[in-house]
Amino acid sequence: MKPIIGITMSREHEQQQILSRAYSDAVIQAGGVPLLIPYTTSDKVIKEMSRVLDGLLLSGGGDIDPTLFDEEPLPGLGRIDPDRDEMEIALIEQFISQDKPILGICRGCQILNVALGGGMFQDLPSQKSDLLQHAQQAPRYHASHTIHIEEGTLLHRIYRKSVAKVNSFHHQAVREVLAPLRVSAVSRDGVVEAFESEQHRFVMAVQWHPEEMVRIDSDAANLFSAFVEACRQQP
């Protein structure tokens, strides 16, 4: 059977939940069955979701409440959605406890790190100097800057290279990760571009948007294939 992959959504208005089709298309292309996760903060519902789903895809979206990593809001902080933060952290905790695969993308990368105790840059341009352009002015499928991938990581085994090009659409970023996580890729300006767990079967997060690149980039397609395959191979 094909694995069922739950995908979190954004909320632009109070009663409207949205998701770019690129996420579900990428899961389908990799052999999975996407299932969109509606907003809920019910512990009972979240536990049942985590029991039914084979994997969790944390999608991109708005900013994360800085109080979750013990900071006050800076002027560059964008729109936050406390309900989404709460729901995604609860989902992460459930999937981690069950050792089920997680893939975090952009905001999903950041909320995964926060849920596991790491810190963040609320607003890269005002908090870090000598930056590359991390909010590209180019088509979403275009790979705009390079990343260095650490040898010996799962990401390196998937990409089979030490340098790759990725797209970029963010102003927040991971500041540091805590064990059992390890950084698996950085950009040339030192911004964390990917991390993964050393204690779980497949817990990985990337700062770029591979779902926008899968049709033209074999590396991005291989990343989704590896995720879906991990979801298929449940213990």
The stretch 221-230 carries a mean pLDDT of 98
Residue 86 has pLDDT above 80, yes or no: yes
User: What span, in angstroms and rounded, lies between the C-alpha atoms of 113 and 89?
Assistant: 10
Q: pLDDT (tens digit, 9 = 90+) per residue, 91-128?
A: 999 999 999 999 999 999 999 999 999 999 999 999 99
Q: pLDDT (tens digit, 9 = 90+) per residue, 129-167?
A: 999 999 999 999 999 999 999 999 999 999 999 999 999
Number of structural domains in the chain: 1
Antiparallel, parallel or unpaired: β 203-206 and 102-105: parallel
CB atoms within 10 A of CB 76: 15
- Give catalytic residues, as residue numbers: 106, 209, 211
- What CATH number is given to the structural domain containing 64? 3.40.50.880
Q: pLDDT (tens digit, 9 = 90+) per residue, 36-83?
A: 999 999 999 999 999 999 999 999 999 999 999 999 999 999 999 999
Residue 235 has pLDDT above 70, yes or no: no
What is the residue range of 26's domain? 4-232
- Give me the amino acid identity at 222: N
End-to-end, the C-alpha distance of the chain in Å comes to 15
Encoded tokens for 59:
């999608």
| Maximum pairwise Cα distance, the chain | 49
pLDDT-based confidence at residue 173 (cuts at 50, 70, 90): very high
User: Given the structure tokens 């770029």, which residue do they identify?
Assistant: 208
Helix 82-97 vs helix 107-115: crossing angle, to nearest 10: 60
